[in-house]
Structure 1
Amino acid sequence: MSNTPRFQQIKTYIQKKIDAKEWPVGSRIPTEAELCELFSVSRMTVNKAVRDLVNQGRLERTPRLGTFVCQSKAESPLMDIRNIADEIQERGHKHHSEVVLQKQIIAPDDVSMRLGMMLGSEVFKTEIVHYEDDNAIQVEVRWVNPDCARQYLEQDFNHITPHQYLMEACPLSTIEHTVEAILPPDNIARLLNITPKTPCLLLHRRTWSGQQLISSALLYHPGDRYKLSARMNVLD
């Protein structure tokens, strides 16, 4: 007999059904009473298994209708900066990217100010769509100070990410994050394969190496596929 707690066995059973697409997104799972009968356990045990999966974003409870499989959301840490390719691979999925733009431009005034550069300065700009399996989960629009990363435009960003290159060329020491909920511009909606009425999370990111501002980026995420999280220790 398995030593795994019964609630964990129920969670595993439900997760396997979801992962195998036997219970696709939007489908209703068996009721708690049916799961109690199937596993010969108490309602409390089933409730804990289901509640854990709701908290993990795998299931969603709808009053008077039942519990449904929901779209699993990718997740990134808000208080840290990590390579999106590594995050996706650690979730057991495949990352690939599509470069939309990679060129040197005259920085718009707002970009010059965000990078602490003189108005009219030249900067490197990239626009890249990041995919988790076949789903677009992030559009990365980034401006880079050429004095800090002179070979930025020479990189093949279909095979490495800007994060990987910048961490090697000018190791990051400080990050600044601001998050807002938006309706995406039409061009971003097309790249994410969503409608302009689909809510998005927009992460504004600036990075420093030592005292030097390196890059400013806008990271667009479809709100129904992505979430940002933070965890910190609070000392008394």
Structure 2
Amino acid sequence: MTNPAPQPSPQPSPEIPRYQEIVSILLKEIEQGAYRLGARMPTEFELCSRFDVSRYTVREAMRKLEDMGLVSRRPGIGTILAATTADGRYANSINSLDELMQYASDTRMEVLGTELIEADEELAALMNCEPGTPWYRMDAQRWASDTRKPFCTTTLWVRGDFAGIVPRIGKEQRAVYRMIEEAHGVTIREVLQDIEGIVLDDRTAATLDAPAGSAGLKITRLYLGTDGQVFEGSVNIHPTGRFRYSMRLQRQDNPSGRRKGTRD
């Protein structure tokens, strides 16, 4: 490993997460050949010292590089430089509401159109509301900072009584549900998510600049408040080759010491 020349740590930006600033610096150094392919990357301790940040921040930065296919973690060895160019896909790892909020901050949504509609039977079934309920519908594209094409189309619905935040959507790089919480005093209870494989129709393919009839991934999310009612919903469609969704599953301890589904 070639140690890069020491540089002063950049001043934190209130708009860019600290780990993302570290990712940008390391990406530039990788492109400039500061690290040899297959060689060990700096340790967490070295990066913490260099950037004056916590181990959590460094781990988030390295996780982002790993999601991009640039580094790999090997037990007993450390973090290895696996590639010098990213694989071109936007990598998404969402395991909590905090990570969902970070996802909104790390990407940019471009709103293509907005209209106030009344829910038909299909939308009412999706949102678990009465037909005729007013909703704001927005058609949009979402971009990552390191992609030249949108990595998804988004259809977003916001309940009609939250009209005040609609003009801010797409202009502020923030999670929509957080805007609603802050502006209207709503507290989110849970997010329901459904993932399915689809075939891109002609219209969606043209919007994404992808081949019609090619494979895609459809992710539907419904945001519920403490009253159990949906106040926001979205359908995101990703073309093949531009998106990767990852999650981490952990075993939960069973306080009773028994396996679920068994009886004494």
> Could you tell me the TM-score, scaled by structure 1's length?
0.63
Partner in structure 2 of residue 216 of structure 1:
233
Q: Unpaired segments of 5 or more residues in structure 2?
A: 4-26, 40-64, 72-82, 254-264
Q: Where in structure 2 are the equivalents of 1:35-46 lying within 5 Å? A: none
Give, in whole Å, the separation in 2 of the partners of 1:96 and 1:56. Answer: 18
Partner in structure 2 of residue 150 of structure 1:
163
Deviation at 1:144, TM superposition (A): 2.0
Deviation at 1:2, TM superposition (A): 7.0
Q: Deviations over 1:208-230 (max 9, x none)?
A: 11122112210112221111111
Q: Unpaired segments of 5 or more residues in structure 1?
A: 4-14, 22-29, 36-52, 60-66, 89-94
1:231 is matched with which residue: 245, 248, 256? 248
Give the secondary structure class of the aligned counterpart of 2:132.
Answer: coil
Partner in structure 2 of residue 178 of structure 1:
194
**1:73 and 2:81 aligned:** no
| 8 Å CA contact retained: 1:115, 1:145 | no
1:166 is matched with which residue: 180, 191, 196? 180
| Counterparts in 2 of 1:195 and 1:2: CA distance versus 1, 3 Å | closer
| 8 Å CA contact retained: 1:207, 1:216 | yes
| Counterparts in 2 of 1:184 and 1:17: CA distance versus 1, 3 Å | farther
Give, in whole Å, the separation in 2 of the partners of 1:156 and 1:192. Answer: 20
Q: Where in structure 2 are the equivalents of 1:49-64 lying within 5 Å? A: 57-58=69-70
Give the secondary structure class of the aligned counterpart of 1:124.
Answer: strand
Give the secondary structure class of the aligned counterpart of 1:117.
Answer: coil
Give, in whole Å, the separation in 1 of the partners of 2:29 and 2:170. Answer: 36
| 8 Å CA contact retained: 1:138, 1:220 | yes
Partner in structure 1 of residue 261 of structure 2:
none
Partner in structure 1 of residue 23 of structure 2:
none
2:122 is matched with which residue: 107, 110, 114? 110
Amino acid paired to 1:220: I
| 8 Å CA contact retained: 2:113, 2:140 | yes
Q: Aligned Cα RMSD in Å? A: 3.5
| 8 Å CA contact retained: 1:74, 1:225 | yes
**1:98 and 2:114 aligned:** no
152-161 or 210-219, larger mean C-alpha shift: 152-161
Partner in structure 1 of residue 219 of structure 2:
203
Give the secondary structure class of the aligned counterpart of 1:197.
Answer: coil
Deviation at 1:71, TM superposition (A): 2.7
Deviation at 1:182, TM superposition (A): 1.0
Count of aligned pairs between the two proteins = 183
Partner in structure 2 of residue 135 of structure 1:
149
Give, in whole Å, the separation in 1 of the partners of 2:214 and 2:32. Answer: 28
Higher relative CO (CA 8 A, sep ≥ 6), structure 1 or 2?
A: 1
Give the secondary structure class of the aligned counterpart of 2:139.
Answer: strand
| Counterparts in 2 of 1:193 and 1:158: CA distance versus 1, 3 Å | farther
Deviation at 1:154, TM superposition (A): 3.1
| Counterparts in 2 of 1:16 and 1:99: CA distance versus 1, 3 Å | closer
